[in-house]
Copies of this chain bind each other. A is one copy, B any other.
Amino acid sequence: MQQPSNSNEQALAAALERTRAPLDAARTLPSAVFTDPRWLALEGAELFARRWIAVGREEDLPDAGSFLTQTIGSERVLVVRDHDRALHAFYNVCRHRGARLVEEECGRLRGAIACPYHAWTYALDGSFRRAPSSHPQHGDARSLALAKLSHGMREGFVFVNLDPQAQALDDLFGALPDFARYRLPELRRACRLDYEIGANWKIVCENYSECYHCPGVHPQLNRIADLASGGFEESASFNGGPMRLRPGFETMSMSGRAIGARLCPDSGADASLAHYYLVYPNLMLGIHPDYLVTHVVWPIAVDRSRIKCEIFFAPEAFDAPAFDPGEVREFWDLTNRQDWALCERVQRGAASRGYLPGPYHPSERCVHAFDRWYAGWLLPFVAG
């Protein structure tokens, strides 16, 4: 049988260049990036393993010994707070026989990281502490410390980067708009929604990036949001912008009424704005007058993704006796499910010979920004 030649890759490169054209001449991403497992593997090795990835929230690590784990591709990274309140991120793998050290999503360790297989233990900073029945050979404790990963904090999120040569987190996020007035680092999680869907992770990102589909798909959202009002800014690491709420609505919820305390007490124009940002590759922020909703999408397979949606309120909101995030949770669960059904349809369409990259509508400039960013990342790997 003939071997696949480079001609497919040449066509792919040409299609990616077309995605990078100005919006009115550009075409959407080619089918292969949604369907070919080779590109998924490359995304794992060269994108997710080289970018700053949000693995959790600082509130998940309140005390010495607190830990969280997060799956990134075939990794399950481990983040631990030590006795000096410093955070450390590790590959979650014992240096002896390679057992995964911690399976739980979060919790609190009792003073040390102990492997459940042979009881090798490590201090909370990852240094090797002891092996039962130890032996001179194991004396070189430094070579047995857990492998450390770069990490950092921003807006209350804990970020990890698997790349030892990672660019500084601040350099990357320096260009993000200033949301200090929204007190994002202080917000506390009220609820979480988990999904697994039959679509490539990039289709979820694209779906998040436009409201051109909202009138037909999201009647509840459409009632509240002024869809024509979406703003747009972008940098090398994000895109997004504000959207206005229609007069008479206070937030995105089933009733349109605010649930919790305002995030910006002195909010002015923010009182009628929602800000939607996609931080590349997979963190989506939805900042509303009274809450933050995040979506994080994780690739499982070329046609399968896991999505974690979390909703955060101001700390004082939880003190109100009648505080009930149900109306916001219900709103997003409904909106999410409407979106996932369409993402799955796009996945099925993208696998068709009949799929041709299509034109962007002017209201899809954020989709185009994401696609351009992705095409620009992928192109150097494609034999042109």
Contact = CB atoms under 8 A, between A and B. Distances in A.
Interface string A85-100: 0000011111111111
Given A1-B38, A28-B97, A359 B103 contact: no
- Max chain B Cβ within 10 angstroms of own Cβ: one of A75, A98, A119, A144: A98
A362 B135 contact: yes
Q: How large is the interface on A (under 10, 10 to 19, 20 to 34, 35 or more residues)?
A: 35 or more
A119 B352 contact: no
A9 interface: yes
Given A345-B103, A383-B1, A98 B213 contact: no
A106 interface: no
A99 B212 CA distance: 14
A348 B97 CA distance: 12
A55 to B, nearest CB: 15
A1 B342 contact: no
Contact of A349 (B100, B132, B216, B363): B100
> So how many copies of this chain end up in the complex?
3
A171 interface: no
Contacts of A137: 24, 359, 362
Interface string A75-116: 110000000000000111111111111010000000000001
Contacts of A383: 1
A378 B363 CA distance: 48
- Max chain B Cβ within 10 angstroms of own Cβ: one of A119, A162, A217, A352: A352
B342 A96 contact: no
A348 B91 CA distance: 12
Contact of A1 (B2, B9, B162, B350): B9
A337 interface: no
B342 A117 contact: yes
- Max chain B Cβ within 10 angstroms of own Cβ: one of A38, A135, A213: A213
A227 to B, nearest CB: 9
A168 interface: no
B212 A346 contact: no
A268 interface: no
B361 A98 contact: no
Given A132-B212, A383-B1, A93 B42 contact: no
Given A119-B215, A381-B1, A147 B99 contact: no
Contact of A217 (B76, B116, B362): B116
A96 B359 contact: yes
Interface string A9-53: 100000000000000100010010000001000100000010000
Nearest to A3: B383
A103 B74 CA distance: 33
A358 B96 contact: yes
Contacts of A75: 352-354
A383 B144 CA distance: 30
A351 interface: yes
Interface string A366-382: 00000000000000011
Nearest to A74: B351
A352 B42 contact: no
Given A1-B383, A2-B381, A133-B362, 17 more contacts: A1-B42, A28-B97, A74-B352, A74-B353, A92-B352, A93-B355, A95-B356, A96-B361, A98-B358, A99-B342, A100-B346, A100-B348, A100-B352, A117-B346, A132-B215, A133-B212, A147-B356
Interface of A: 1-2, 9, 24, 28, 31, 38, 42, 49, 74-76, 90-101, 103, 116-119, 131-133, 135, 137-138, 144, 146-147, 162, 206, 212-213, 215-217, 342, 345-346, 348-356, 358-359, 361-363, 381-383
